[in-house]
Amino acid sequence: MSLTSDQMELREEDIQKHYAAAYGFLDGFDHTPRIAKAKTSDRTEERSPGISTRRRFRSTTPGLVTRSTARPEGVHLVESIEGADGDDPLISPAQANVLNGLRRALAIALATGENFSDASGLSDLKRANLAGSLSADNKAEFSELLTAEALAVLHVFANATAYLLAPHLGEVTVEVGEVEEVLTDNAQLALHGALWELDQDITTLATDETRLVATVCAFAEQLMEKLSLRAQTAARLAAFTGASWRVEADDLTIQGFTPARAAKGTTLTMTFKKPNEVVGNHIAKYQAMKLAKMLMAYDFDRKLNPFAELGGFIFTFMGDGMPGTGKTTLIQMMAGLINDYCQVAGYPFRYQNLSTDNIDSYQGKSGQNAKSFINNIIDPMAIGFGTIDDIDQLAGKRGDRQSSAGQLEITAVLMESFAGANTVVRGNCTFGMFSNYPENVDDALRQRAGARFLVDGPKTREDYIDILALLMGKNHDIPLGEHDLFEAQAIQKAVAASFESHSRPHEAGLMNVFDKVHDQIGGLDTIAKLGTYLKAIQEVDPRFTGRAIKNITDAVKVRAMDFELPDEWMENPELFLFQTYERKKDMISALRVPITVEMVVQEINRYADSEFRYADKSDEVAIEEAVRDMRRMEEAKRRYLEGKG
């Protein structure tokens, strides 16, 4: 991947000149912890005070006068890493990968720090400080810039470590806990503190070489998270956050405090379904097929999708329907389409499902699992599709006494990730929430689903004939009879009929509102009349807020993109996928259709129908529970009186 106009090259010679200093950090240095406490391990070797099996190396930062806080035994990461496989005297490939990755990450961090110092003016202040000529007026600026450099260098080290070692990760995971020894006096001390704590984690947690890689990567992830929070209140970081560096040899891009995870796809083992194997569910199938192609328009250089800029991209959607109506089949179809498109284009594709296995009894762990799921899918270096099946069981409903702490943690993470203050929709991924009982999903979380896919399965006589013939297979001689097989599944014809059916509401409660407004003001043919209809819906259902209007307008914009990108664009990447961002945008714009009143009315009815459907089910469930409570109370009173008599 070539450099973009907003990137600077971090030259290889500028990185490799720091190899000696980087190895010095790994070979040995002295550090007395300020914040964290030393951990103990049965693997820790006893050494006589002041004696090490290797030489100690004290790295220095030019222009910076530092004070030693030495302890005799020092920190020796090389020894700790080499001791991660027991008594084997030879270094293993995994250990070599970790050592090389850490040395490379440290060298990249030091080179980036050098760039930051030059760009921010810190280099001049360091020279003045070394010469003893730093003025009193510059001392505050000097201190703030040292802190900024420490944050930048430390984050680049963690970022590069996680990126470089990601391909060597296995299935084993390690919990390292919060990183505590985060020191920001200067870059050298910051690295000393982080490496001291990493050494502690390796010594206590890396009982074999598989856990070694997992421990180092988990530590890097935790360190990045801690530094990102610190950076929110730190000063003088513009020279770091406002720049972008490219390390061509590693295919690594450094962009402020954004993690640069390796663009690695996942190997899917699910059974994919073809579109013709999805019977019924016409609108849901059509939109899923469109969305699969929309994702492929993502531009990896700009890290943006033209659909996200033009409007019409579906970042989150809710698929609901009765059990057995085809939600799993829809997931299999969409994942299969994206997987096939990505293989043709050579793009990394990640699919992941957040399941009930991610609910943990340990406080905070469920939220961490959900956040890891989100981060894996939104990675801008890959195409992502994340699903949350049976979300009513996974995410707790606030105020529901039956919701566990873990379920509520997941709800909070999903709400913040799908429509939080820091949510950025690049257009490289989408999230689908699926449920048989959407009325049990927290209202605020459900409304964060920008699109609604009603998965109601086969509906017509033709649908039932098609699905019977499909599932029967070919190992029989039963004649088909008078029927055009799969003719009813012709997608354009079926979708047009499905959209047309929403010109009037489907739910009885919404139908009453629609008829009442229509009788008062006539046809809904102006924005003012449409707004009147929306207000009338809100008066009946207070949950119909501004977020509902945004979801409806987003759905209308999707309808303006009521076209499928041509199949040949997916089959031959040169025609579209490998074009420049601006060219893709122009090609998509040329296919757009005008927004009509009919589209707006249909999308209002589609969205409001779903909310009324959820509300009716939710109310019915609440009534049934209240009736059961009353019956239990009556039975309790009867037994009490009988016992008393």
Mean pLDDT of 364-381: 85
**Residue whose structure tokens are 């009879």:** 481
Mean pLDDT of 47-55: 39
Mean pLDDT of 422-435: 90
Identify the band that residue 494 occupies on the pLDDT scale cut at 50, 70 and 90: low
pTM beyond 0.85: the answer is no
Q: Across the chain, which distance is largest between two alpha carbons, in Å? A: 99
Nearest to 565 by CA among 313, 271, 266, 277: 313
Determine the Cα–Cα distance for residues 506 and 590; give it in Å rounded to an integer. Answer: 34
In this prediction, residue 550 carries a pLDDT of 85
In this prediction, residue 15 carries a pLDDT of 95
Determine the Cα–Cα distance for residues 422 and 402; give it in Å rounded to an integer. Answer: 30
Determine the Cα–Cα distance for residues 429 and 295; give it in Å rounded to an integer. Answer: 7
Determine the Cα–Cα distance for residues 460 and 466; give it in Å rounded to an integer. Answer: 10
Identify the band that residue 2 occupies on the pLDDT scale cut at 50, 70 and 90: very low
In this prediction, residue 626 carries a pLDDT of 77
Mean pLDDT of 432-451: 84
Residue 18 predicted with pLDDT over 90? yes
Structure tokens at 140: 């505050």
Mean pLDDT of 357-371: 80
Q: Which residues contact 73 (CB under 8 A, 6 or more apart)?
A: 47, 49, 50, 52
At residue 110's C-alpha, the angle toward residues 106 and 112, to 5°, is 115
pLDDT in tens, 304-329: 999 988 887 889 998 887 777 778 88
Nearest to 15 by CA among 147, 124, 106: 106
Determine the Cα–Cα distance for residues 421 and 63; give it in Å rounded to an integer. Answer: 40
430, 385 Cβ separation under 8 angstroms: yes
What does DSSP assign to residue 476? -
What does DSSP assign to residue 247? E
**Residue whose structure tokens are 């801690």:** 226
**Residue whose structure tokens are 């971090």:** 10
270, 333 Cβ separation under 8 angstroms: no
Residue 62 predicted with pLDDT over 50? no
In this prediction, residue 493 carries a pLDDT of 60
254 - beta bridge partners? 245
CA dihedral 195, 199, 200, 203 (to 10 degrees): 170
431 - beta bridge partners? 316, 386
At residue 341's C-alpha, the angle toward residues 338 and 345, to 5°, is 135
Grouping H, G, I as helix, E, B as strand and the rest as coil, residue 351 is: strand
What does DSSP assign to residue 299? B
Phi–psi pair at 579, nearest 5 degrees: -75, 165
Grouping H, G, I as helix, E, B as strand and the rest as coil, residue 172 is: coil
- The domains of the chain, with CATH numbers, are 8-60+70-255 (no CATH), 275-623 (3.40.50.300)
Identify the band that residue 48 occupies on the pLDDT scale cut at 50, 70 and 90: very low
246 - beta bridge partners? 9, 253
In this prediction, residue 541 carries a pLDDT of 87
Mean pLDDT of 221-236: 90
The H or E element spanning position 352 is: strand 349-353
300, 580 Cβ separation under 8 angstroms: no
In this prediction, residue 609 carries a pLDDT of 86
In this prediction, residue 57 carries a pLDDT of 41
> How deeply is 145 buried, as exposed, middle or buried, from its count of CB atoms within 10 A (0-12, 13-18, 19+)?
buried
Top mean-pLDDT range of 15-19, 81-85, 245-249: 15-19
> How deeply is 522 buried, as exposed, middle or buried, from its count of CB atoms within 10 A (0-12, 13-18, 19+)?
exposed
Residue 302 predicted with pLDDT over 80? yes
Residue 95 predicted with pLDDT over 50? yes
Return the higher-pLDDT residue of 341 and 503: 341
Mean pLDDT of 160-182: 87
Identify the band that residue 496 occupies on the pLDDT scale cut at 50, 70 and 90: low
Residue 53 predicted with pLDDT over 50? no
Tell me the angle at which helices 136-165 and 187-205 cross, rounded to the nearest 10 degrees: 30
Determine the Cα–Cα distance for residues 484 and 473; give it in Å rounded to an integer. Answer: 16
Q: In what order do the strands lie in the sheet with 244-247?
A: 8-9, 244-247, 252-255
Tell me the average pLDDT of the chain.
83
292, 335 Cβ separation under 8 angstroms: no
Identify the band that residue 194 occupies on the pLDDT scale cut at 50, 70 and 90: very high
Identify the band that residue 100 occupies on the pLDDT scale cut at 50, 70 and 90: very high
In this prediction, residue 68 carries a pLDDT of 37
Query: In percent, how much of the chain has pLDDT > 70?
Result: 88
pLDDT in tens, 241-252: 888 898 989 888
517 - beta bridge partners? none
Return the higher-pLDDT residue of 26 and 562: 26
Determine the Cα–Cα distance for residues 607 and 596; give it in Å rounded to an integer. Answer: 17
What does DSSP assign to residue 632? H
Top mean-pLDDT range of 94-98, 361-365, 366-370, 475-479: 94-98
Determine the Cα–Cα distance for residues 111 and 117; give it in Å rounded to an integer. Answer: 10
In this prediction, residue 622 carries a pLDDT of 64
Structure tokens at 606: 């589609």
In this prediction, residue 182 carries a pLDDT of 93
pLDDT in tens, 250-295: 888 898 888 876 555 555 656 777 776 777 677 788 888 889 999 9
490, 275 Cβ separation under 8 angstroms: no
Structure tokens at 577: 């996928």
Mean pLDDT of 478-483: 86
